[in-house]
Chains A and B, each alone.
Chain A
Amino acid sequence: SAVISQKPSRDICQRGTSLTIQCQVDSQVTMMFWYRQQPGQSLTLIATANQGSEATYESGFVIDKFPISRPNLTFSTLTVSNMSPEDSSIYLCSVESAGGAGVGNEQFFGPGTRLTVL
């Protein structure tokens, strides 16, 4: 499986500021995904990021709040804009493995970014 790193691993931010989270993969991948996991909850998909095209956002998530960049096949960023305490969460990037069964490729997760907004 791919080796995925995220920066920062954690941060404490003030209300109204923005934070950019980086996700780096050690191999080229077509699709990268950004998830949020709020305390005690399961994972919620924020958006899918493909290289060379606009990210596709899930219901309830908008580009103005969560702008995403995907400049190449090994890197993506997620920005959490104009933060409020409700944005306190773990943010995870994931990548899809290559060479799966071809029906639904499994995903592997980075270590996550733990964000606390005061």
Chain B
Amino acid sequence: QKEVEQNSGPLSVPEGAIASLNCTYSDRGSQSFFWYRQYSGKSPELIMFIYSNGDKEDGRFTAQLNKASQYVSLLIRDSQPSDSATYLCAVSGYSSASKIIFGSGTRLSIRP
């Protein structure tokens, strides 16, 4: 079983709609959760992090964490073509607060 699982996509969403990206993780002791955006040919860019159950909002982005279900999601409101990228879910490992395990990423495509 993979430690961090994401649907590889591509996920196609019309411009202006809400894009919903999901991630599950296997280590119940995980404490930190991150969403990175990676454009083709570029390095990952941190866009959200969340440590507590519930929702965390930053502009058009909302991260949602449910530790009981071992589930974390990213919502992107008012999707723009510039949001088209691969989104990587990442979870901090139990053995070290600093070691991060990455999912394989979900490709998001925003269609005009």
Contacts and interface: CB of A to CB of B under 8 A. Distances in A.
Q: Do A and B come from one complex?
A: yes
Nearest to A43: B102
B25 interface: no
Contacts of A48: 98-99
Contact of A109 (B44, B49, B99): B44
A92 B51 contact: no
Interface residues of B, number: 20
Nearest to B49: A106
Given A43-B44, A92-B43, A103 B103 contact: no
B51 A31 contact: no
Contacts of B32: 101, 103-106
B92 A104 contact: yes
Given A92-B43, A104-B98, 19 more contacts: A42-B88, A42-B105, A43-B44, A48-B99, A92-B44, A96-B98, A103-B31, A103-B32, A103-B51, A103-B97, A104-B32, A104-B92, A105-B32, A105-B98, A106-B34, A107-B46, A109-B43, A110-B43, A111-B42
